[in-house]
A and B are shown apart, each in its own frame.
Chain A
Amino acid sequence: MTAIELRGVTKEFADVTAVRGLDLTVEEGEVYGFLGPNGAGKSTTIDMVLDLVRPTEGTVRVLGQEATADGVAIRRRTGVLPDGFAVYDRLTGRQHVEFAVRSKEADDDPDALLDRVGLLDDADRKAGGYSKGMRQRLALAMALAGDPELLILDEPSSGLDPAGAKEMREIVRAEADRGATVFFSSHILEQVEAVCDRVGILRAGELVAEDSVEGLREAVGGEETLEIAVGGDGGASDAAVDAVRDLDGVSRVDRDGDALVVSCADGAKTRVIGALEDAGVAVADFHTREASLEDLFLAYTEGDAPSESEEEGGTTEAGETTDATDVDSTNADADTNDDPTDTDAADAEEVSR
């Protein structure tokens, strides 16, 4: 059975067509990342899945039932973390969760749910005094009530700090391990990469790509960036830099202090290092950066991406590295800069399934 199935779905509002002829299938048990810039139609799509908004055309089926006709039955089996929601200011966190448990006719212990999202200590405070991140945790606890077969998370990490975002991903993974299907929307690619089996990218109401993250990266033609720390004084000589620049597959070389930053095709790494060593430059250390996920995302959402990709699934050599023994090559390290999502990327490997 498919968890979510949209067929030819179009939604026109008075002044705008939010979703256009969308076909989308989420299989049972998978973690599906639904990506797109703000305004791409992600929330409208999710609202149609939840029967908050009715499609102008097409059909939406969720867990084998018709979204518009069987909304209540569907939502009894679904946990939802909506986007842009508000809490009941005068009710406590625990009252919120109790309400969710009761509404779903489940028998969860509200305190256990609150504990799971790290909110137990604040359970007796009124939710009106919660921070954005706490509200997000509260809604997640409500979504988890009743062990839903399908979890729909609309921008789940918004308002969460990196630690919170990490906990969110751990919960998503635990739910997936339990057998739940997870449908997860975000405009931040890193968030999705870390947990999703498959990713769909929505642009202007249309699905422009659907694949594993590796597959998408391949399709865009993964350029890599090498950061090379050069030993000795004065860095690399001009001759050495020119030699590297002339290599096949190298698109640019920049100096960054004593280090070199080289953009090159996937297979050119070893040649770059070799050329430097031939030119008498001592390579002290180097890092590989894959095509920035942000770049990849922008490529799809701003237009200059390849048409929907031909290759199937992720057989990229994510684990492949140069065999230089004295180099520290960190592969999936997408953020060597002081990005606050640093910790996220670090456990990306651990989390991705």
Chain B
Amino acid sequence: MSLPAIAEKDFQDTVRSRGMLILVALFSLLVAVFAYVLTPPGEQFATEFLLSRVVGPFLVTTLVPLVGVVVGYNAVSGERESGSLKLLLSLPHSRADVVFGKVAGRGAALSLAVFAGFLLPALVLLALSQLGYIEAFNAGSYLGYTVFAAVLGVVFVAIAVGCSAAARTQRQALIGGIAIFVLFVVLWSFVTGRLLGAASGLIDPLPVSQQQVSVFLQVANPITGVELLSSAFLGDQLLSGETVNRQISAVSMLVFWTIAPPLAGLWKFDTDDL
């Protein structure tokens, strides 16, 4: 089992890239700007409001998937094109170790960036609340929310690494990465709506309503899933309350997206001549 060795090497390699620094700085800056803009002096500052109304829609649901795709899309194809994959596969690693090691290593690197990027402004907010400039800062909510952001990032890393493993060239991987981003961030409801329309004949005889399938397809998008889970968390209703069924669907779909795309990519990668 050489997956941990690959994951660790890839983590080291990724966190040393200049992109990581830029990422941390970008996250920090954006969170800080939002926090500043949204707390005019004298008004009440609400951590939950900041996260679910501002950081969520703007930062997490677009920027984190984008970063996940950027971190993941060249994981395997980049090494394949440069030739370092030869060095890697000269050592006793299976191709499965390579693909899943990359998911783990890059997922960890991205999580680190998300944490660093979110926590730097959190320290400032915490200090401000201690000094009495803003109302109490809810560190627990903030930290928990950061975990959800990191989870979303890891899911997109996994999808992109799967695509990277299947691609023969960097170019294909890049096109695949863009397609992933556009599909999940922009076109999801359009595409699933079309699918649902086309498949209505198939669904009717099943013991589920169109409505139920449509809801499931919505939370099947990892972005929607994480939004659902994080807002439940902020409302203190994680895996409970009236949305519990949808939350469970969302969790299982997040697991699915973390495992299935790398497996599909591996299936292709494993049969390729390198």
Contact = CB atoms under 8 A, between A and B. Distances in A.
Contacts of A105: 92
B87 to A, nearest CB: 5
Given A75-B90, A84-B86, A87-B87, A99 B273 contact: no
B16 interface: yes
B93 interface: yes
A314 B89 CA distance: 37
Given A47-B274, A95-B12, A99-B5, A90 B87 contact: no
A326 B62 CA distance: 87
B39 interface: no
Interface string B52-92: 00000000000000000000000000010011101101111
B9 A88 contact: yes
A313 interface: no
B240 interface: no
A210 to B, nearest CB: 26
A346 interface: no
A243 B90 CA distance: 61
Interface residues of B, number: 23
Contacts of A142: 87, 90-91
A143 B87 CA distance: 9
Interface in A87-111: 87-88, 90-91, 95, 99-100, 102-105
25 contacts: A54-B271, A54-B273, A72-B92, A72-B93, A73-B92, A80-B90, A80-B91, A82-B83, A82-B86, A83-B86, A85-B86, A86-B82, A87-B87, A88-B84, A90-B12, A90-B17, A91-B9, A91-B13, A95-B9, A99-B91, A102-B5, A103-B2, A104-B92, A142-B87, A142-B90
Contacts of B93: 72, 75, 103
A322 B103 CA distance: 69
Nearest to B9: A99
Interface of A: 13, 47, 50, 52-54, 71-73, 75-76, 80-88, 90-91, 95, 99-100, 102-105, 139, 142-143
Contacts of A47: 273-274
B87 A139 contact: yes
B12 A86 contact: no
A88 B13 contact: yes
B83 A13 contact: no
B245 interface: no
A86 B92 contact: no
Contacts of B84: 85-88
B5 A103 contact: yes
Contacts of B200: none
B209 interface: no
Interface of B: 2, 5-6, 9, 12-13, 16-17, 79, 82-84, 86-87, 89-94, 271, 273-274
Contacts of A52: 86, 89, 273-274
A85 B87 contact: yes
A84 B81 CA distance: 11
B94 to A, nearest CB: 5
A139 B12 CA distance: 19
Given A52-B273, A103-B2, A86 B16 contact: no
A250 to B, nearest CB: 51
A54 B270 CA distance: 10
Contacts of A104: 91-92
Contacts of B274: 47, 52-53
Nearest to B18: A90
Contact of B87 (A13, A54, A82): A82
Nearest to A99: B9
A82 B90 contact: yes
A80 B79 CA distance: 17
B94 A90 contact: no
B92 A84 contact: no
Nearest to A88: B13
A53 B273 contact: yes
Nearest to B273: A53
A275 to B, nearest CB: 58
Contacts of B16: 90-91
B9 A84 contact: no
Contacts of B86: 52, 82-86
Contacts of A13: 273
B5 A84 contact: no
Contact of B91 (A75, A84, A87, A91): A75
